Amino acid sequence: MKAHLNGTVSSDMLTGLFAEKKWISSKFLYDEQGSQLFEQITDLPEYYQTRTEAQILLENLSAWKSVFRKPAALIELGSGSSKKTKILLDHVPNIESYIPIDISEEFLADTVTQLQASYPGIHIQGLSTDYTQPFTLPDFKGKKKIVFFPGSTIGNFEPREAELFLENIRSLLNPGDQLIFGVDRKKDEAVLKAAYDDAAGVTAAFNKNLLTRINREHEAAIDVDSFSHVALYNPTAGRIEMHLESSREQVLTLGGHTIEVKKQERIHTENSYKYDPEDIIRLGRASGFLLRRVVSDEREYFSVCLMEV
Ligand code: AVI
């Protein structure tokens, strides 16, 4: 989930900073530097998600082959560099067209050019939009559509938002169309915490970059070093939370607004919900999909789910 800032402080950022419990939407984590730091996170030894999902995709090729039994269109939400999709493009026949959707227009254009050269037999058409907002798909002339949403990004939605989001995706599909998406599973707290507070400090840099971005884009002068990264597991909500904690009392000035921050006060910057099988079933039911299959790794750290309209 990404967003652009453009000089004026967005209203949801202000709402969050003036709230009793301060928060900033996680979509603001992904400026250019934040996106690069996130790419580095995906390679960290502690961040098992990315490689586990890739392994699940590779180990269950027969499942994806049966999804694409007939020629179909593959639509990816938040495609980035389309790294995981290459597993499908390389191994699964009948992908007639591929529609990567990403908010970053320039990045998307480069990815499409590179992919088109590698997969000349597949029609590739990028769609630059914020997929969390309503959007329309090209006309596939009755061909089956498969939506691919890897990376456990669904976990960055609040549970009700996740249901509404999937409901919205379902409204773009026809009976028989399918959705493949990744979810991070509930597991040992120490494993989860390490994944969001790595020894090399990359996740801390990713979180703190939010303040650097605000300084740059809003001519603010927040002392970034006076905040530290906090990652904790909230077992009641079933989510990892990221916060920025102020080491001192201070006043933040941005876009003509002043925000008082107490010593040890936290700004909540991200939720990453973890799912167990019951949560997955509930999500499918609430969003009106039929849950067809859930495949997981041996440790049950991560699952890839297949749902159908
Ligand atoms: C993008 N999203 C699935 C990541 C996650 O695990 O929730 C974002 C992230 N935040 C810290 N590390 C990774």
- Complex-level ipTM: 0.99
CB 309 within 8 A of CB 176: yes
Q: Can you give the pLDDT at residue 7? A: 52
What separation in Å is there between the alpha carbon of 105 and the centre of ligand 1? 22
Q: Ligand 1: list residues with CB < 6 Å.
A: 41, 49, 151-153, 155-156, 196, 203, 270, 272
What separation in Å is there between the alpha carbon of 79 and the centre of ligand 1? 15
Check residue 138 and report its DSSP letter.
P
Q: pLDDT tens digits for the chain (309 residues)?
A: 655 454 566 777 889 999 999 999 998 998 889 988 999 999 999 999 999 999 999 999 999 999 999 999 999 999 877 889 999 999 999 999 999 999 888 889 999 999 999 999 999 999 999 999 999 998 898 899 999 999 999 999 999 999 999 999 999 999 999 999 999 999 999 999 999 999 999 999 999 999 999 999 888 889 999 999 999 999 999 999 999 999 999 999 888 889 999 999 999 999 999 999 999 999 999 999 999 999 999 999 999 999 999
In the structure encoding, which two tokens stand for residue 95, read together?
């992908």
Q: Can you give the pLDDT at residue 3? A: 52
What separation in Å is there between the alpha carbon of 96 and the centre of ligand 1? 31
- For the chain, how big is the Rg over CA atoms in Å? 20
pTM listed for this prediction = 0.93
Measuring CA to CA, which residue among 294, 212, 286, 288 is closest to residue 254?
A: 212
Task: State which ligand 1 atom lies nearest to the alpha carbon of 152.
Answer: 3
Measuring CA to CA, which residue among 191, 153, 206 is closest to residue 45?
A: 191
Question: Contacts for 52-56 with beta carbons within 8 Å, 24 or more apart?
Answer: 52/297, 52/299, 52/301, 52/302, 53/84, 53/150, 53/151, 53/152, 53/182, 53/302, 53/304, 54/83, 54/84, 54/87, 55/297, 56/182, 56/295, 56/296, 56/297, 56/302, 56/303, 56/304
In the structure encoding, which two tokens stand for residue 223, read together?
């002392």
What separation in Å is there between the alpha carbon of 261 and the centre of ligand 1? 26
Which residue's alpha carbon is at the smallest distance from atom 3 of ligand 1?
A: 153
Name 58's Cβ contacts closer than 8 Å, sequence gap at least 6.
Answer: 87, 91
What separation in Å is there between the alpha carbon of 275 and the centre of ligand 1? 14
Pocket test for ligand 1, best of 28, 50, 156, 239 (most atoms within 8 A of CB): 156
Q: Can you give the pLDDT at residue 48? A: 98
Q: Pairing mode, if any, of strands 227-234 and 239-246? A: antiparallel
The rounded distance, in Å, linking the Cα atoms of 63 and 278 is 22
